[in-house]
């Protein structure tokens, strides 16, 4: 069981000024912030990040959405991080998300759903490396 996951506060939530409230939910749930930045993704970066969804009908809209404004990637640490964080954010579609979850509270719809969460330990490592260099992770390390 791994202890790291990648969260992203997506552009819709940043536009709605929800960064603070979402981070509060995350830290109240016991996650530690290991690295964080605010960044406007290029099409190449967003397209690469969501490469696994390339064949899906919503891929182009997803890349457009993720590049529509700044987002806030956050490397998180907690025991059982991937599973616990996915439980905290709720289902992809906010209509299906459990009460009190971040997506239930803050997501507009299945496409613009406020936050990202890694789906496995392996992908968490890949996704953290997508946004944070080894140097950044070491220099900014918070124990």
Sheet of strand 32-36, all strands in order from the earlier edge strand to the far edge? 32-36, 72-77, 4-9, 115-117
Mask 61-100, x = binds ligand IDP (CB under 6 A)? -x-----------------------------x--------
3-class secondary-structure state, position 4: strand
Toward ligand IDP, which CB reaches closer, 123 or 140?
123
Does position 111 bind ligand IDP by CB under 6 A?
Answer: yes
Given the rule CB under 5 A, which residues bind Mg ion?
Answer: 119
Q: How far apart are CA 66 and CA 21, in angstroms?
A: 20
Toward Mg ion, which CB reaches closer, 34 or 86?
86
Does residue 74 contact residue 7 with C-beta atoms inside 8 Å? yes
Does position 121 bind ligand IDP by CB under 6 A?
Answer: no
């Amino acid at each position: 069981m791994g202890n790291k996951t990648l969260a992203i506060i997506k552009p819709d939530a940043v536009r709605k000024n929800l960064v603070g409230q979402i981070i509060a939910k995350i830290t109240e749930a016991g996650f530690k912030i290991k690295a964080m930045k605010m960044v406007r993704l290029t099409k190449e970066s967003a397209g690469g990040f969501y490469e696994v969804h390339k064949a899906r009908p919503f891929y182009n809209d997803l890349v457009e959405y993720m590049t529509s404004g700044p987002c806030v990637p956050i490397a998180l640490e907690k025991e059982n991080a991937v599973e616990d964080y996915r439980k905290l954010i709720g289902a992809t579609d906010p209509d299906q998300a459990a009460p009190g979850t971040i997506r239930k509270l803050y997501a507009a719809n299945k496409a613009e759903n406020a936050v990202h969460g890694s789906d496995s330990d392996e992908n968490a490592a890949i996704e953290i490396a997508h946004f944070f260099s080894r140097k950044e992770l070491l220099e900014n390390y918070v124990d």
